[in-house]
Structures are given as structure tokens and as C-alpha cells.
């Protein structure tokens, strides 16, 4: 059996280690938890309070906060989250919670890079019928609403954690997911669902990699032929109205939409409308012999910097994109500039020959090899297949992402210059059918590390403690319509629940045959 380990004479040691491992995992978590973990979360006497069926949320009127409040009120009253392990929490005799009062310090701050997302939250334990969220801005109010929604659970009646105090703000101001919509197309509804999940995880940037060599799906009003000829089809374009819908949806969820038009490399799709401004367009990406590759993957083409028309078209594209997207930042790509591609053009060769220079650097990703017809991966069983053709292998697990420290090796002064991070889903082998499971819950792991870090109060990595919380959060995301992939079998919870009752009960879960105790998929060396 896969992962099976057999022990015969070490049962007492296994029993003790197993109990310690599980007990620590249970002891470090509250009965109800929030993802991402708040920077300060105090619940000295875990109890719950009933939620009134007439529950209301009081808040200042605001173009984007008001729909967020309406959305969260409906979620709180209808979600009926059922924790995987029923929390052993006593119900207070207090009056049911009647309302949540939101008091915003600054209702005018726009959603922009560096906006204050801090908030405080408290739920009553003394008979009061009100809970409170006190944010600096409306965007902090949205983060507080997400936290409050995760404190509600159960059905008939709905309960809310009582006597909780939260003070919360992110460590990093830029926390995002990048999605490539050029290699494969994603519908508007897919992008809205992504933004919805970003907001749930307190991520604040949707980095939209709109165009690439493979297609140009954005309808630019002053250059309509770029999408007219460069998109995969008329039903695979994003119109200005689509963009407006996506941007507005982002604002209602506290998520900035940051557009990227990749250039000067990755512009092969531009050649469908303007072949004269693109070098090495539609050439085979890796010529025979010792000739260097013209691109990092199939899909060649780069803007020709010596053609005046290049600057005219580029200016129009940037101008219209900025007009459609209100964010203060615009991403110009600039990755994988390939000197071999430019050198296929005689005029560029002449510039280089006269001591001109061209820079080259590489950044890309994938999900295994998508090129096909590659004999390197036709090997006998047992052969080391390397990274399997993936541009960025090996596969990054949620634990790898959670444990990654983006300021590793930096001085304290240098670390202060790091504004945050993003996870990226490139779409060589992804589209809407797998988007959710490729991104979640791995992006959730990054979300917590960028919000409150990956270490506990003593400075120790908290990935073991995070496992149960992330597993619970993944199930809650699925119930909210996000197709996040599982990180564990439910069997793990049955074992932990049994261990919480007694060591002997936990051991009964194991299979004992022929005097040997067989423990599946459990590495005793790591207890």
C-alpha cells in the first residue's frame, strides 16, 4: 500500500508520539478559526451567542461598501457553515446578537496601492446585542466583514463566537494572484469568481495578464484590429463593457484590477493586425541546428523598436488600457526579451553590429510539457524524468508556498522595501475548467503568509498548526462556490477526533494484523 509503514515492537513509542503530535495540533487552534489568521485574535473564554434571524448591519452609505454589506449579511444568514469537527462551545444565555455596527474613520480613501486595510472587531460576551467593526477605511471594513462571516456557523440556530476581539492589518500591502488569459481564454464569469475568492482570502490585487503572443483578447477602441484579428474568436474578447464590469466587481470586493499588456516580447498576436511592427512573427520557435531559440516557448514575436509605427500602436494601446482601468499602476510585461528574435531582422542586426545592445532575461511557467513530440519524455519506467517538461517544475505544494519567506536573506532595511507578492497561473495547460483547483487553496497559503506571516508568537513556523485551519477553510470555500482542491483525506479528521477522546480510541483506527500495527501515510520520524 502506498506510503505504508510497518511497526512491530515500537507500539508504545508510536502511541506516545502519535498522541503528542495530534494533541499539539488540536491545542494550538481555537474551536472556530479565521483564514487568513488575524495578526491579533483573542478569545479568552470560548463561547458562542445566537444570531438573531433579524440580524442587521449598520454602516455608512458608500458606493462600494453598501453592496459589500448586503452581500455579507446574506452570506451570514444563509451560509450555515458546518465545521468538519463540531466545536465543543457552550452557548451563552445572552440576548441573541441583533446587529453589527461598522464605524469607518475615513470613507473617502480610494482603493489604491498602499490603502489602509486595518480594522478592529469585537463580539459581545456580556449581554450586549451588538458586535462592532472599527476600520480605518471602507476597504478595511470589507476585511472585517470577511472575518466576521467566518465567526458565524451552524444552522437553526446560527451561532457566532462570543467574546472575541480582533485587531488586524496586513504585513504586506500588495497581495495578489496573476492570471494569464492569452494562452487560453477565461470568460467574464470566471474572472468574477476569481475576484470573489481573492476577497475571501483578503488578497487585494487581481493582476490580469491580458495579452501575449498567443492571443490579444482585449478590445482596444483605438486599435480594434488587434483583438479583431488577434483574439481566438469574436466570443473570446473582452469588451470595454466587460472590463468595466470586472473592475466594478473588484471594487465591490476590495480587489484592485491591475492590467498587464505584455511587451516588447510576447507580442506575436499583434502581427495578425500589424505584421510590419513585429519581428520573427509566426516563425518556428526553436530552429534546427545550433541556432538559438527565438522564444522561450512556441509563440514567437517581438515589437520592432526601429519602426515608428510600433510606437504609434503601442501608445494607443497603453492610452486606451489606462482609460479602461482606473488603477494607478499599469504592468508593461518586459519579460523574456529574446535577442535571437530581434536578430532575425536585418535593420536590428545593423544596430547591434554598430555596438547597440539588447538585454535578455527569462521568466515563465507551466503545468508540464505542452509542446508534444518530445522524445525526452519517452523513457523506460524508473528513469528520472526531471521536471517533466514543466517550465517551473517541480510542482509547488501549499506547504512549500506557506513556508516560503519572501524577505529571506535581506537585511531589515532591505526587507522594508518589499511591498508584497503574487502567485501566478500561466495558462499553457489551464483554462476555466481547472482554474479554481490550480489556484486554491495554494493561493490561500500565500494569502496568510502575506497577511499575518507564517510564524507563531515564538518565531516558529506554524505550518503544522495551519494544516487543520486550511483544510477547514478549503471546505468553506467549496461551499461558497470555489472549486478548491483538497489537501487531506477526511480520514485525518476522524483520527484526530478519536485521539482527542483517548489514545486508545485513536489506536483503534489503525489496522492490526498478525501482531503488526500498520499506519498508513504517517511519517513517524517527523513527530
**Catalytic residue positions?**
336
CB neighbourhood size of 473 (10 A): 25
**How many Å is the Cα radius of gyration of the chain?**
27
d(C-alpha 193, C-alpha 145), whole Å? 18
CB-neighbour burial class of residue 113 (10 A; exposed 0-12, middle 13-18, buried 19+): middle
d(C-alpha 447, C-alpha 203), whole Å? 6
Name which of 32, 102, 167, 109 is nearest 452 in CA terms.
167
Cell of 506: 485513536
d(C-alpha 287, C-alpha 20), whole Å? 59
d(C-alpha 340, C-alpha 349), whole Å? 10
Tell me the sheet residues that pair with 516: 513
d(C-alpha 260, C-alpha 333), whole Å? 6
- 84 and 493 Cβ atoms separated by less than 8 Å: yes
d(C-alpha 415, C-alpha 69), whole Å? 36
Cell of 8: 512491530
Whole-Å CA distances, 216 to 89, 213, 326, 379: 54, 8, 21, 37
Cell of 32: 472556530
- The DSSP secondary-structure symbol of 268 reads G
- 189 and 216 Cβ atoms separated by less than 8 Å: no
- 169 and 118 Cβ atoms separated by less than 8 Å: yes
Residues 368-400: b if buried by 16+ CB within 10 A, e if exposed: ebeeeeeeeeeeeeeeeeeeebbbebeeeebbe
d(C-alpha 205, C-alpha 197), whole Å? 11
Tell me the sheet residues that pair with 520: 4
Cα three-residue angle 429-431-436, rounded to 5 degrees: 110
Amino acid at each position: 500500500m502506498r506510503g505504508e509503514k510497518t511497526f512491530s515492537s515500537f507500539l508504545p513509542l508510536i502511541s506516545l508520539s502519535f498522541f503528542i503530535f495530534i494533541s499539539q495540533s488540536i491545542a494550538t487552534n481555537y474551536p472556530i478559526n479565521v483564514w487568513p489568521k488575524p495578526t491579533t485574535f483573542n478569545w479568552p473564554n470560548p463561547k458562542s451567542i445566537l444570531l438573531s434571524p433579524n440580524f442587521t448591519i449598520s454602516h455608512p452609505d458608500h458606493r462600494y461598501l453598501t453592496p459589500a454589506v448586503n452581500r455579507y449579511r446574506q452570506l451570514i444568514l444563509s451560509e450555515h457553515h458546518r465545521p468538519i469537527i463540531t466545536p465543543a462551545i457552550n452557548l451563552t444565555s445572552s440576548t441573541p446578537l441583533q446587529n453589527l455596527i461598522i464605524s469607518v474613520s475615513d470613507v473617502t480613501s480610494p482603493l489604491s496601492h498602499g490603502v489602509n486595510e486595518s480594522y478592529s472587531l469585537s463580539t459581545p460576551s456580556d449581554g450586549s446585542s451588538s458586535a462592532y467593526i472599527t476600520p480605518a477605511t471602507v476597504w478595511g471594513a470589507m476585511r472585517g466583514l470577511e472575518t466576521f462571516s467566518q465567526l458565524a456557523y451552524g444552522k437553526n440556530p446560527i451561532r457566532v463566537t462570543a467574546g472575541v476581539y480582533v485587531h488586524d492589518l496586513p504585513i504586506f500591502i500588495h497581495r495578489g494572484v496573476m492570471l494569464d488569459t492569452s494562452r487560453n481564454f477565461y470568460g467574464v464569469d470566471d474572472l468574477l469568481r476569481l475576484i470573489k475568492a481573492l476577497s475571501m482570502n483578503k488578497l487585494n490585487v487581481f493582476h490580469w495578464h491580458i495579452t501575449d503572443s498567443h492571443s490579444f483578447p482585449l478590445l482596444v477602441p483605438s486599435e480594434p484590429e488587434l483583438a479583431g484579428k488577434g483574439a481566438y474568436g469574436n466570443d473570446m474578447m473582452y469588451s470595454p463593457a466587460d472590463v468595466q464590469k470586472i473592475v466594478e466587481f473588484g471594487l465591490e470586493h476590495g480587489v484592485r484590477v491591475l492590467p498587464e499588456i505584455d511587451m516588447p516580447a510576447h507580442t506575436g498576436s499583434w502581427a495578425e493586425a500589424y505584421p510590419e511592427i513585429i519581428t520573427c512573427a509566426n516563425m518556428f520557435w526553436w530552429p534546427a541546428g545550433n541556432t538559438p531559440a527565438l522564444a522561450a516557448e512556441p509563440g514567437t514575436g517581438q515589437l520592432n523598436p526601429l519602426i515608428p509605427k510600433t510606437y504609434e500602436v503601442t501608445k494607443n494601446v497603453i492610452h486606451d488600457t489606462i482609460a479602461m482601468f482606473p488603477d494607478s499602476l499599469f504592468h508593461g510585461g518586459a519579460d523574456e526579451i529574446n535577442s535571437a528574435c530581434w536578430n532575425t531582422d536585418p535593420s536590428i542586426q545593423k544596430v547591434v553590429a554598430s555596438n547597440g545592445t539588447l538585454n535578455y532575461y527569462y521568466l515563465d511557467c507551466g503545468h508540464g510539457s505542452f509542446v508534444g513530440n518530445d522524445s525526452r519524455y519517452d523513457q523506460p519506467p524508473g528513469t528520472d524524468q526531471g521536471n517533466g517538461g514543466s517550465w517551473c517544475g517541480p510542482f509547488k505544494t501549499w506547504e512549500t508556498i506557506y513556508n516560503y519567506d519572501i524577505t529571506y536573506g535581506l537585511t531589515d532595511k532591505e526587507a522594508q522595501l518589499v511591498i508584497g507578492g503574487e502567485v501566478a497561473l500561466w495558462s499553457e495547460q489551464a483554462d476555466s475548467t481547472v482554474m479554481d483547483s490550480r489556484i486554491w487553496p495554494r493561493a490561500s497559503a500565500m494569502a496568510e503568509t502575506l497577511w499575518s506571516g507564517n510564524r507563531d508568537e515564538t518565531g516558529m513556523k506554524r505550518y503544522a498548526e495551519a494544516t487543520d485551519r486550511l483544510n477547514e477553510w478549503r471546505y468553506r470555500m467549496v461551499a461558497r462556490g470555489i472549486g478548491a482542491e483538497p489537501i487531506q483525506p477526511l480520514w485525518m479528521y476522524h483520527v484526530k477526533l478519536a485521539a482527542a477522546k483517548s489514545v486508545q480510541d485513536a489506536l483503534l483506527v489503525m489496522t492490526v494484523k498478525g501482531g503488526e500495527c500498520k499506519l498508513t501515510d504517517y511519517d513517524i520520524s517527523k513527530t
